[in-house]
Every structure is written in C-alpha cells, then in structure tokens.
Copies of this chain bind each other. A is one copy, B any other.
Amino acid sequence: MKEIETLKEEFITYLRSREFKEDPVNLYAPINYILQLGGKRIRPILALAAAELFGEDSSSALPVAFAVELFHNFSLVHDDIMDNASVRRGKPAVHAKWDINTGILSGDMILIEAYDQLTSYPAETCKDLFEQFLKTGKEVCIGQQMDIDFETAQDVQIEDYINMITLKTSVLLASSLQMGALVAGASKQDQEHIYNFGKNLGIAFQVQDDILDTFGNEAAVGKKIGGDIVQNKKTYLYLKALELCDKNEREQLHLFYSNKNALTEEDKIKQVKNIFNSCHVRTYAEELKTNYRDLSISHLNAIQVPGKNKSTLLSLISYLDNRTA
C-alpha cells in the first residue's frame, strides 16, 4: 500500500496537469487560485486510498479524487462569502481577492466541473457515482443551512449538532472513500462499510477540532484558542455543558453567548472555560470522540479485504490519536 504522502504527491501532480487554461480568464483564474492554495488534500487522498484498499491502482480513482477536491473548494468559496470570512489558508478568500460576484460564479463553475469529472467512467459506474455524489452534494448544502440556522436557534440539541457536522463535513469524507471503492469494484456491503468508516472518523475529527479549539495549546494548534467561544458556536462542548451544569451556570452561559455581556474576548473565553471545566465537558467530549473512532475502526475491520491492504487507512486513525492541531 502506498503511504499517505505518496498518494498526496500523486494527486498534486494530477491537479497540476489539470490547471484550467481556458478563457474567460476572469472565470478560471479564481478557480486555479483556490485549487493551488494547498490544504491537506484529505478528500482526494481518501478516494485514492480506497481504490488501493480494494486492489486497484490508485490512479483509477484520480478523476474521483479531483471531483471531491473540486467540490470541497466550491463549498469553501461559497461558504467564505456566507461566513464573511476574508482569509482562507492564510491568503485572501476568493471573494476578498476579487469580489462577491466572482466568488459566486467561479464557485458555481467549480461545482459543475466537480460533477463533470465523473463522466470519465463507464456508464454503469458513472451513474452509481453520480447518485452517490449528488446525494452528498445535497447533504452538504443541508448541513450548511443547519449551521446557519443554529446561529439563531435557541433549542439546538446534541443530536442536531452531530447531525449537522455529519452533513456539513463528514459525508464528503465518507463519499470520497466510497466513490474510490466504487471505482475499484467493491461490493455494496464493503462500500457501506468504507462509507461508515469515513463518516464516523469525520465526526471524531470534528469533535476533536472542537476540543482543540477550546482546550488546545496555542503554539501546537497554530491558531488562537477560543474562536468557537468568541463566535458563540453551539459546539458539542457548549451543548453538553448546558445539559450538565447547574441553573446559575446555565444562565451565565446563555448570557455569555448572547453577547449581552461587556466582557473582553479574553475574559469571555476564560469564564466559559471555567464553566466547561466545572462540569467536565472535556471528558465527555473525549469519550464521544473515542466512541466514533471505535465505530469507525469496526467498519474498517468488517471490510472483506486482506488486512495488509488496510495499513494506509489505519494510519489515519493514529494521526487522529496523536493529533494536537
């Protein structure tokens, strides 16, 4: 099995060969720009690794890998407009470097290009891929809408939150794996297992992101700690704290998250973390993460291929376990 770094190199070489050189330049320049900004390329790596898991050469999944990376970048470009986020990977977001209209239209084009990659497969495979990828596309939009709705909703439950992060981020990871497996001719059952491996691993990663955002080490994480608290994000930590804490703490939390309090950002983070600590939400979050991690592993274990084929995907689990950023 190829190592993750090898698969990443393979994908980046392919990506370079697929640079958009057509006119109009005002449409394609932002697309090339966002695609070259970098990132971990986790979704294409998953697609390639899944093809290898089922005994195909990773190159057979390169169009799928490009499709999922394009889709991911479409969602970044449009989400950055919606979130009014002007920085992406340390560089200006598309709508900040150009303008909102350029962000909208180039994002639309990236989405169409994403789906267009799938037409390079034979008809039966092509149809299966489209069904899977269109379902995923719709789920990602629903996840984004739920995330927006949660900002103003007063009754978000932990179950809703898990559902939102599943749709907004995990299903694309899961689909990247499943489509790689599909191209490699995996059985329906194995496709389901690899999908659920990715879905649950994605949830585990997201819960860990939430933990690191609040309890991480600033130097190790490489960004300011407490961003979720400052932005009043209804993460697992916040929702679980509301469930666990006493009436007085609950009122305080509501007050802090309504921005009706004149605290400095630093003080707000400190006070909220005090409440989180007093009701031990971190322990619950770590347990939740472990549960999803274990569920993920059990799906990988259930896949009917030689154990040695699983080494690359297993290394993703160790990456989760050792992750500090």
The answer for the CA separation of A105 and B149 in the assembled complex, in Å, is 13
Question: Which stretch from A8-16, A56-64, A138-146, A219-227 is at the chain B interface?
Answer: A138-146
Determine which of B24, B105, B144 lies in contact with A78 in the assembled complex, contact meaning CB atoms within 8 Å.
B105
Contacts of A78 in B (CB 8 A): 104-105, 108
Determine which of B24, B107, B124, B141 lies in contact with A27 in the assembled complex, contact meaning CB atoms within 8 Å.
B141
Q: Does A81 contact B (CB under 8 A)?
A: yes
Contacts of A123 in B (CB 8 A): 123-124, 126-127
Question: A149 and B26: CB pair below 8 A?
Answer: yes
Question: A82 and B108: CB pair below 8 A?
Answer: no
Taking the nearest CB of chain B, how far is it from the CB of A217, in angstroms?
A: 34
The answer for the CA separation of A134 and B130 in the assembled complex, in Å, is 12
A101 to B, closest residue via Cβ:
B82
9 closest A-B pairs by beta carbon, nearest first, are A27-B145, A123-B123, A123-B127, A112-B137, A116-B134, A82-B101, A109-B141, A24-B145, A126-B127
Q: Does A37 contact B (CB under 8 A)?
A: no
Q: Does A87 contact B (CB under 8 A)?
A: no
A137 to B, closest residue via Cβ:
B112
Interface residues of A in 90-116 (CB under 8 A from B): 100-101, 104-105, 107-109, 111-113, 115-116
Most buried by B among A126, A134, A142, A145: A145
Contacts of A82 in B (CB 8 A): 101, 104-105
Q: So how many copies of this chain end up in the complex?
A: 2
Contact with B along A14-40 (1 / 0, CB 8 A): 000000000110110000000000000
Contact with B along A126-170 (1 / 0, CB 8 A): 110011001101100110111011000000000000000000000
The answer for the CA separation of A118 and B82 in the assembled complex, in Å, is 29
Q: Does A298 contact B (CB under 8 A)?
A: no
Question: A26 and B130: CB pair below 8 A?
Answer: no
**With A24-B145, A27-B142, A105-B78 in contact, do A126 and B130 touch (Cβ < 8 Å)?**
yes
Q: Does A283 contact B (CB under 8 A)?
A: no
- Beyond the given A81-B101, A116-B135, please list 18 additional residue pairs across the A-B interface where CB-CB is below 8 A: A24-B145, A26-B148, A27-B145, A78-B105, A105-B144, A108-B108, A108-B111, A109-B138, A112-B134, A112-B137, A112-B138, A115-B130, A115-B134, A116-B134, A119-B127, A123-B124, A126-B130, A130-B130
Taking the nearest CB of chain B, how far is it from the CB of A151, in angstroms?
A: 11
Taking the nearest CB of chain B, how far is it from the CB of A221, in angstroms?
A: 28
The answer for the CA separation of A321 and B108 in the assembled complex, in Å, is 36
Contacts of A118 in B (CB 8 A): 130
A119 to B, closest residue via Cβ:
B131
A75 to B, closest residue via Cβ:
B108
